[in-house]
Amino acid sequence: MGSHLEGKAVVITGGGRGIGRAIALAAAMEGANVVVADYGGPIDRRGAVSSEAAEQVVTEIESAGGKAVPCAVDVSTMEGGRTIVQAAVDSFGRLDGMLCCAGITVTKYLWELEEQEWDDVIAVHIKGHFSCAQAAAHVMMKQRSGSLVFFSSGALTGMPNATAYATAKAGILGFTWSTAYALEPYGITTNCLIPSAATRMSDNIYENAGTLSKRLGDTMRSELASGTYRDPANIAPLAIYLLSDAARGINGQVFRVQGYEVAHMAGVAFDKTMTSIGPWEVDTIAARLTKELGPALTLLPVPWPEPKD
C-alpha cells in the first residue's frame, strides 16, 4: 500500500477493464477512494450494457482493504458525466481527480464506416471527455483544486482502418490544451496520456491489421501481457503521479507511456518554412514548394494496416 493519493476521491472512467482497471486498482492501493465508472458491453458498443465489470473491480479493491463504488453510466451523455461526478461527491464528499479512460473503437476504413459508428466513437471519446470534465470542473472550481487526466492514442497519427477513433483521439489533444488554460487559475491541472498496452481494444485493432497482425503474431495479445512490457499496469504509475499533489506544477502536458518508457510531446510544431516578400502566386508555390519543403512532404513510415482488397 502506498500513500500518493491518500484520502483523495478519484473517478476512473473505463475502469472496469484494461488500462482503466489497472489504474483504478493502483489508485486504491495508493490510498484513493475510487469511483469505478464503466458502462460495460463490447468495444464497438454493439451489445448489452452491464455493470459487471465495474462491480468486479470494486470487489477487488474492497477485498484489498480499499474503498470504491461502481457506476455504470454512459459517458457520451451529459447526464452520464454528471452522475459519475455526483457518485464521488455522494460517496466520498469531494472529487480530487478525474481520469477519462473510457473508449470504444470500430476498425473500419473511411469508405466502410457507417454514420452511426462514426457518431458512437466520437460521442464516447470526445463528448465523453467533455461530459465528465465539465461536471468535474464544477466541483473542482469550488474546491480550488483537482486533477484531470485525459486519454489519447498513438492512432492519432492516422491509423487508416480506425477513422473515427483516430479523429477522436487527435481531438482530445486540443481539448486537453484548452481545458488546461481555462482551469489553471482555479488550481486545477489537466494533462493527457498516450498509452500503449495490450487490452481487448488493441486485440481487436491488431486482429484487423492485415500483414501487421501476421508479423506481430500473438506477441500483442492481452491475455499474454501480465508482467510484460505490454502489461496495462505499466501505465498506472504515471497516471497516479499526475493525480497526486506531487504533480501540481505540471499542466497542459501530453505524455506517451508504453512499457518502461515515458516520453513528452513537445506541442505542435512546423518543421520547415518558406517565405515570400509579398502575396503568394500559384506558379511561385509550384516552383518552390517541393524544392524547399519537399523532404517533409511524405507520410510517416508507420506500420499501419494495409487496405483490404
Distance in angstroms (rounded) separating the CA atoms of residues 76 and 103: 10
Quick check: 145 and 188 in contact, CB under 8 A?
A: yes
Distance in angstroms (rounded) separating the CA atoms of residues 151 and 134: 16
Name the amino acid, one letter, at 6.
Answer: E
- Give the position of cell 481520469: 99
Per-residue CA distances from 6 to 14, 64, 118, 250 (Å): 22, 15, 40, 20
The yes-or-no answer on residue 165 being catalytic is yes
- Give the position of cell 454512459: 74
Question: Apex CA 149: angle with CA 137 and CA 116, to 5°?
Answer: 85
Rounded to the nearest 10 degrees, what angle do helices 128-143 and 78-92 cross at? 40
Q: What's the sign of the alpha-carbon dihedral 171, 176, 177, 182? A: positive
Q: Which is catalytic among the residues 39, 109, 165, 186?
A: 165
Distance in angstroms (rounded) separating the CA atoms of residues 162 and 156: 10
Distance in angstroms (rounded) separating the CA atoms of residues 280 and 286: 10
Name the amino acid, one letter, at 149.
Answer: V
Report, as residue numbers or ranges, the catalytic residues. 165
